[in-house]
Amino acid sequence: MKKRMKKIISLGVATVMMLSLVACSSSGSGGADKKEDKTTTEKTESGTGKVGVAMPTKDLQRWNQDGENMKKQLEDAGYEVDLQYASNDPATQVSQIENMISGSCKLLVIASIDGDSLGTPLATAEEENIPVISYDRLIMNSSAIKYYATFDNYLVGQKQGEYIVDKLDLENAAGPFNMEIFTGDPGDNNVNFFYGGAMDVLQPYIDSGKLVVQSGQVKKEEVATADWSTEKAQARMDAILSSNYADKKLDVVLCSNDSTALGVTNSLEANYTGEWPIITGQDCDKPNVKNMIAGKQSMSVFKDTRKLAEQTVKMVDAIMDGGEAETNDDKSYDNGTGVIPTYLCDPTVVTLDNYKEMLIDSGYYTEADIK
């Protein structure tokens, strides 16, 4: 993993440059706009057949948005859509994918629950020449995966780490500051990037003693949260607070996403009376944006699921046309069977300063959604 992270860091600059050239949004340079117009025309002509879309769960807000965006955009492009949610149960997802294959889907878009558990249905898909796009999370060890569409998830972690460095002024302040760490489900390959990106920024400060993790829980396995569950994050935070923070100040909690940040916040509200810590997150889920406005969460990372869907639908079109899809990273994402050509969308840090512009003005939420 370390090697891979290094590779990704060295690719970081190139990726940023490419992203600014091939912006994930429709507002880009003249060149990017032209390309999009052309794809739009082809889309209407080529959109035929059924596409299976497998999403992990309805329990977390973002997958509902991902699923709805994918369904709408694929249908607008002319495809029939079989959209399924698997209640975070890998066995359910396996049988849903089997049904998509037997139900004549021509292509599958899969956001996996456990990136290692889909070997059998994906082998069938490959035998039947049904291409698979790995959506948001990389599916490991399957040569059925033709493309990967996601956000730059290493950058998500890095931005969370940099936010903490900035807010605590770790370069100049004497410290030490107390920090706790929460990441996500160990079966989700993205966790390696969120945790890796943040820890590459923060580990030097832990090593120098400026950041102190009083619980002693630092390793990925120790700070993982099964199913990205809010309740499990809350229970772990309860235990950490009662064993370590009865008479200590907690300065910061690195949370990889909003569902874990919500659990941490709930626990702090019930058990902690000290000065409120910095809390990071990701996704800009509605309860977390509300918490941000109420001063209970410091930041989140916005991943515009409309844009990821848009990019994925372009991939679907290109594959259906028998052509090659647009990608912007053909080096970093090896799923164990080789490098998977990838399109990375750009994540954005959201705070009190820019949430209106990013979330309301862009039409992602209405004012009422986050009141």
- x/- mask, ligand BGC, residues 228-267, rule CB under 6 A, reads x----------------------------x-x--------
End-to-end CA distance of the chain: 41
Bridge-based pairing of strands 278-279 and 211-212 is unpaired
Q: Minimum Å distance from CB 283 to ligand BGC?
A: 5
Q: Is the CB of 182 or the CB of 245 nearer to ligand BGC?
A: 182
Our finding on whether 312 is near ligand BGC (CB under 6 A) is: no
Smaller CB distance to ligand BGC: residue 195 or 205? 195
Smallest separation, CB 31 to ligand BGC (Å)? 29
332 vs 4: CA distance, rounded Å: 7
Please state, in angstroms and as integers, the Cα–Cα distance from residue 313 to each residue in 46, 87, 147, 172, 362, following that order.
12, 24, 12, 46, 20
Query: Minimum Å distance from CB 108 to ligand BGC?
Result: 18
Please report, to the nearest 10 degrees, the dihedral formed by the alpha carbons of residues 6, 12, 13, 19 taken in order: 160
Among positions 56-85, residues that touch ligand BGC (CB under 6 A) are: 60, 62
- Cα 278 to Cα 272: distance, rounded to the nearest angstrom: 14
How many residues touch ligand BGC under the rule CB under 6 A: the total is: 13
Q: How many CB atoms lie within 10 A of CB 169?
A: 11
- Name which position in 152, 180, 188, 238 contacts ligand BGC (CB under 6 A): 188
Q: Which stretch binds ligand BGC (CB under 6 A): 118-126, 170-178, 182-190, 331-339?
A: 182-190
Contact 163, 347 (CB under 8 A): no
Beta-carbon neighbour count of residue 98 at 10 Å?
Answer: 14
Q: What span, in angstroms and rounded, lies between the C-alpha atoms of 53 and 23?
A: 25
Tell me if 306 contacts ligand BGC by CB under 6 A: no
Chain positions 117 to 176 lying near ligand BGC, rule: CB under 6 A, are 136-137
Site mask, ligand BGC, residues 276-305, x = CB under 6 A? ------xx-------------------x--
Note the residues at the interface with ligand BGC (CB under 6 A): 60, 62, 136-137, 184, 188, 190, 228, 257, 259, 282-283, 303
